[in-house]
Amino acid sequence: MEPAAPDFLEDDSPHLDFRACVYSYAGRSAQAVRELKYGRSTALADFMAGKVAERAAVIGAPGDLVVPVPMHGSRVCFRGFNQAILLMSAIRDLEISPRALRRVKATRPQAGLTLKQRNHNLQGAFKADPTVAGRTVLLIDDVVTSGHTARECARSLREAGAISVGILAFAGNLD
């Protein structure tokens, strides 16, 4: 798998401070994401979580609260797990809060949508818990491509009082 280049990118949105990833979303890393998410190959999760934890340590884990990008309950029931929760399992020494952010609206999967459709698809989809007020939040997800999901999560977290939000994904397209 190829390391991501660049692996850390400041984001130009008013809500999301940065995007970071372990690998570029191509080749074997993209295959690993698809196998975990759609093939339900949860045996990959330990390796992937270890790499996410390593990258969090390298970038200084700029957050005091680690939060998974949430899935709607109906999708969790269908898939059987939230891959973002699995991927944050190896992060140590930081507070982990799987319930600080909820997906309150079922949406279509972002894959296959145009940029305009992705933005509209996620409006109002997330709700943050007020306990994030005054915290710096590190979101965790399997993949970040356009950044729409991360930005919408960050918007909700900032509205609830988070002072800083960034995302770290196993794979991504950051250019």
Per-residue pLDDT reduced to its tens digit, 72-84 = 877 666 777 888 9
Q: How many residues does the chain have?
A: 175
For residue 30, pLDDT beyond 90: yes
Residue 1: inside a domain, yes or no?
Answer: no
Q: Is the pTM of this model over 0.75?
A: yes
Residue 128: inside a domain, yes or no?
Answer: yes
Residue 2: inside a domain, yes or no?
Answer: no
Residue 138: inside a domain, yes or no?
Answer: yes
The separation between CA 33 and the C-alpha centre of its own chain, rounded to angstroms, equals 12
Looking at the structure of the chain, the number of domains it has is: 1
pLDDT band at 2 (very low <50, low <70, confident <90, very high): low
For residue 62, pLDDT beyond 80: no
Rounded (10°) angle between helices 115-122 and 148-159? 30
Q: For residue 166, what are the contacts with CB-CB under 8 A and spacing of at least 6?
A: 11, 16, 17, 18, 19, 20, 62, 63, 137, 138, 139
Lowest mean pLDDT across 5-14, 33-42, 46-55, 77-86: 5-14
Residue 113: inside a domain, yes or no?
Answer: yes
What CATH number is attached to the domain comprising 72? 3.40.50
d(CA 110, CA 114): 9
Task: Give the range of the structural domain holding residue 158, as residue numbers without chain letter.
Answer: 8-172
62 compared with 103, residue with greater pLDDT:
103
Residue 64: inside a domain, yes or no?
Answer: yes
